[in-house]
Structure 1
Amino acid sequence: MNRTQRLSQRVIEYYADNAPVASQIMHTQSVAHFARLIAETEGLDNKTCEMMEEAAWLHDIGCPPARQKYGDSKPPHQECEGKRMVHEWLDNDPDFTAKETSWLADAVGGHHRVTEAHRLHFEPLFEADLIVNLFEGYYKPDMAQHFVNSGAVSTSTGLALFEKLFGAK
């Protein structure tokens, strides 16, 4: 098993113990799939594609502790707890360098903010989460066009997916 597979297995086991299992695992798996698809189609190198997929597997791990600590998993709470948990999980993991762990923690800690997506170059993760959240009804369908118009979707692949999946041009 490679490190991404080991990490995904850890996340699935974590959700099995801490969250509404089916919905959280399916959400996370879908975001990971779209993030990898966008990253690969954009022509990012294999290491960056791997990191994007890993960030997607980790992106919502802060939800269970946020619900426990704050009574909800609103974006600021889950991002804060998620960033902390990435460090808790990976700081001493020999499969991840300190630089990789720091980037993953920052991506998880800002994955709802387009400014952070652009600053840290995790647009595939950001766009993948938007796609899955639209499918799941977290956002109203007409928000797809807003995401395109506002520049929140900025990759060529993301724009093509938003057009094909939601009719947003």
Structure 2
Amino acid sequence: MILNSDKIIKEMINYFNKDVKRVNHALKVYSFCNTIGALEQLDDKELLIVNLSGILHDIGIKEAEKKYNSSAGPYQEKEGPAIAKAIMNKYHIDNDIIERVCYIIGHHHSYNKIDGIDFQILVEADFLVNIYEDDMDRNAVTAVRNKYFKTKTGLAILEDMYL
């Protein structure tokens, strides 16, 4: 099933319940996911996976803070997939798409687990936003580029914005 991402965006906004910083972060990551995915010429299914991953990648952060008093990556990865799955199940998204999105969400801070273009694009999109939000210096940005960026589009955007 091909789904317009707007309903999932609305679900994410509702879930974060006035946490504007987290909503804005997710929307920025989603935007980069969509742009990189489209320019890398993903097919409709791959683009949907990338977009859903971008919207929902940090959805476990509230539960992580509640359970572990921490927003650390491993806790987000642990808590996020179940919440994301519950949201996506409301829209009868194909199970293989849900499972892939949940895999990406469940490993999005584990860069050694990147196993496909969809996951790669989410990581690049998240870094493009985090570089700004974390006010990384040029040396850190260069290190991130060299270690984590692989797509032609992601590299070009990183260069255009930060280097």
Q: What's the TM-score, normalizing by structure 1?
A: 0.87
Name structure 2 gaps, 5 residues minimum: none
Is 1:41 the equivalent of 2:27? Answer: no
Residue 164 of structure 1 and its aligned partner are, at CA, apart by: 1.0
Residue 142 of structure 1 and its aligned partner are, at CA, apart by: 2.5
Between stretches 135-144 and 28-37, larger displacement belongs to: 135-144
Q: Which runs of 4+ in 1 moved over 6 A?
A: none
Alignment partner of 1:146: what SS? helix
Residue 94 of structure 1 and its aligned partner are, at CA, apart by: 4.8
Checking the alignment, whether the CA contact within 8 Å between 1:3 and 1:95 is kept in structure 2 is: no
C-alpha deviations, 1:3-30, integer Å up to 9, x for none?
411111000111125xxx2211111100
Indicate the residue corresponding to 1:122 in structure 2: 119
Is 1:89 the equivalent of 2:90? Answer: no
C-alpha deviations, 1:74-108, integer Å up to 9, x for none?
00001110012123333x43521221111111010
Alignment partner of 2:107: what SS? coil
Structure ranking higher on relative contact order (CA contacts 8 Å, 6+ apart): 2
Count of residue pairs the alignment pairs up: 161
Closer/same/farther in 2, CA of residues 12 and 110 from structure 1, 3 Å limit: same
Checking the alignment, whether the CA contact within 8 Å between 1:35 and 1:128 is kept in structure 2 is: yes
Name structure 1 gaps, 5 residues minimum: none
Q: CA RMSD in A?
A: 1.8
Between stretches 137-146 and 40-49, larger displacement belongs to: 137-146
| 1:147 pairs with one of 140, 144, 148 | 144
Q: Percent identity?
A: 27
